[in-house]
Amino acid sequence: MVAIPERNRLRTPGRGPVSGPAGGGRLRDPGPALYRRFRTGARVGSRGNVGHNMGLRIDLHVHTRRYSPCSYINPDLLIRQAVRAGLDGLVITEHHYQWTPDELAALAASSYEAHFLVMAGFEYATARGDLLVYGLDADEASRFTPGMQPEEAVARIHNLGGVCIAAHPTRAGMGFDERLPNLPIDAIEVQSLNMKDHEQRLAAQLARQAGFRPVAASDAHQLEGIGRYCTEFDTPIQSIADLRNALISGTFRLIISTAENRKLYDV
């Protein structure tokens, strides 16, 4: 049993906003009906409040086959599928690689979706658990060697001005250990395609008990998975720096897509 500290970690002291840019299994197509339900589902705020105003829907965790061998997603089809899924933006988070600004610009230009927001972070494997990292430039990301201890990795990310989210933190065989409740991470992923129902419930309970902000993201490795889970942001986001600031300030809400998951948040 993981010991949960009593303190609430919703605020991360000493780290203010910045401005300017910085750098699974096969799924059947869920079809438009699922996307309509997803768009109209109840949303729970990052501090537990429920909201119904429509904000920016962003998928924070997507892999492509260009740099993640485990993914089947052709990046040339990525943005079209994201628009079809009802998203306003997404973050490509390859394993230990961050797309460069030039690569992102070329991808956006080829999509003919001029208003769609595509950004890049990366997924980093610590010695125990994976982190989604946002707000670093591509050169800084390339210097992260896999296998650092979680405390060291989080401190380094924050010292460089980035933010990090614990990815699939309760996933069997890939989760964190008893140190997780004490890590000064910026949020935890409580829903994704690669977390089973009971793993999602455990992650949601951990978020509530330890005071972590919850996010949902697809962790898509198949094209049809993009946008199946996402997070809604209340403030304008036009860059990865804006996303970083929103994750620090908590101006986002988790979308609750099923009645079972609503019970976890008393919705």
Domains in the chain: ranges and CATH: 54-232 (3.20.20.140)
CA–CA distance, 61 with 52 (Å, rounded to integer): 23
| 149 phi, psi to nearest 5 deg | -65, 145
Percentage of the chain exceeding pLDDT 90: 71
Residues 106-160: tens digit of each pLDDT? 999 999 888 899 999 999 999 999 999 999 999 999 999 999 999 999 999 999 9
Which segments within 108-186 are labelled E, that is strand?
117-125, 130-134, 163-167
Angle among Cα 125, 148, 193 to the nearest 5 degrees reads: 15
pTM across the whole model: 0.80
Residues 182-226: tens digit of each pLDDT? 999 999 999 999 999 999 999 999 999 999 999 999 999 999 999
> What is the H or E stretch that residue 209 is in?
helix 197-210
- What DSSP character marks residue 264? G
Mean pLDDT of the chain: 82
Task: Check whether 13 has a pLDDT greater than 50.
Answer: no
CA–CA distance, 39 with 45 (Å, rounded to integer): 15
